[in-house]
A and B are shown apart, each in its own frame.
Chain A
């Protein structure tokens, strides 16, 4: 694939759980701020962690002026199980986001096709 040429869906590398988490982090931080994003994603991680032990590796910490997250190693590769875990996190996040912010944030997240392509729908 040449740089600058639009990639066809077949050419594109599969979206990893790390890509999805990074995108979710960026979009939520943009709309709600990083402190709220960290609070919401930590809660969702804690809720899923009992059935997904690899989430012990998902760390969200405040370092100096910024929040930083560290992802499980398996999330960096195209791994169906990791994407499933990411879906579980979104399932935990969805009702809380709905209750806190109504549909506005969920709709914005759904407007990004990357999530839908990975089978993640927020406003379900």
Chain B
């Protein structure tokens, strides 16, 4: 009978290779958790990599992704039948011992080790590895703790992200609700102002100007509430679009005409090129009208007295471009970076402006397969550009 030869310690080269493999696996786990696949795939692949890293038979984790007490079990390889309950019970026992100071279960045979998944100082779950051959070493525990920290951080990020999404949904619903409740009474006010304007058309100028100012302010509030309502629908993809072939030059001319009185108060000249008929784009008429009207409103607010606003539509290959420019002060480089963001405000601090107009314009253009941008030309310091798909020609 011959005695087994003692195992030779690994050579320096073998040790170096092992370290390199460990480092690569840890990096791969970090990339996996940072990838764009869904969370189950990320976690399952991370457990698979952990299984390779620690040469173990099984890796599993029990965690509460939503923070609502419903725990999920993931295992690589997957467990089935009675094994599920057994594994879940063991991990749950450990988790309760950690979270609630419950009694520590006594089931370990030394071949399975586990670590809490901690993030932002809270236990988010537990991860366990099992190996039927040799026991885990201190160095392996160190590696295991690094992976547990990565998983804990990822679970924390998931939780925070879910909380943010829920908060954002609540905020949008509340905004839409408020906008909806304002819209009805506001419509009545506008109707009454129109009625009074007719009744008092022989009144002195200051009375008619006053009514005109009320109507302008009401229309602006109406636009803001409509933006809020449609934004909520656009963001949740619940606004059905009525895409049709539109004469863009005709649309610009109509919108400019509606603003003639407002522009004349400050002697601002609005020009539209070309005269209809012009290029035809495929767009939702109501949505596009509101986008352009928002740009026009913006231009009227910032153009100086005796200033000018120029609106133009033109073909560019299979797209149609619209430009709405004014000779007001240029937008600062800092503001340019955020001008299309929600609640971005202009230089006037956003008087009667919730910072939604340009954000609405961006979302509405993207919903129609278009885009919006800001540019500067030698003639006009502020030019908003829109681009839409051209309408198919018969």
Task: Write the residues of chain A forming the contact surface with B, with a CB cutoff of 8 angstroms.
Answer: 30-33, 35-36, 38-40, 43, 46-47, 61-62, 95-96, 98-105, 108
Give the 8 A-B CB pairs with smallest separation, nearest first.
A35-B118, A102-B110, A33-B145, A95-B104, A62-B121, A32-B145, A99-B108, A101-B113
Q: Are B135 and A102 in contact (CB under 8 A)?
A: yes
Asked if B152 CB lies within 8 Å of chain A CBs, one says yes
Q: Are A39 and B116 in contact (CB under 8 A)?
A: yes
> Which residues does chain B contribute within 8 Å of A95, judged by CB atoms?
104, 106
Q: Are A31 and B105 in contact (CB under 8 A)?
A: no
Known: A47-B101, A102-B113, A102-B136. 14 other contacts (CB 8 A): A31-B141, A31-B142, A33-B146, A35-B118, A36-B116, A43-B97, A43-B98, A43-B101, A46-B101, A99-B108, A100-B115, A102-B111, A104-B135, A104-B137
Please name 21 pairs of A and B residues whose Cβ atoms are closer than 8 Å in the assembled complex, sorted by A.
A31-B138, A31-B141, A33-B145, A33-B146, A35-B116, A35-B118, A36-B116, A36-B148, A38-B121, A43-B98, A43-B101, A99-B94, A99-B104, A99-B105, A100-B113, A100-B115, A101-B114, A101-B141, A102-B111, A104-B137, A104-B138
Q: Are B149 and A35 in contact (CB under 8 A)?
A: yes
Name B141's contact: one of A38, A43, A61, A104 (CB within 8 Å).
A104
For B119, the closest partner residue in chain A by CB is A35
Q: Are A104 and B136 in contact (CB under 8 A)?
A: yes
Asked if B123 CB lies within 8 Å of chain A CBs, one says yes
Asked if B107 CB lies within 8 Å of chain A CBs, one says yes
Most interface-central of A47, A96, A102 (chain B CB within 10 A) = A102
> Which residues does chain A contribute within 8 Å of B111, judged by CB atoms?
102
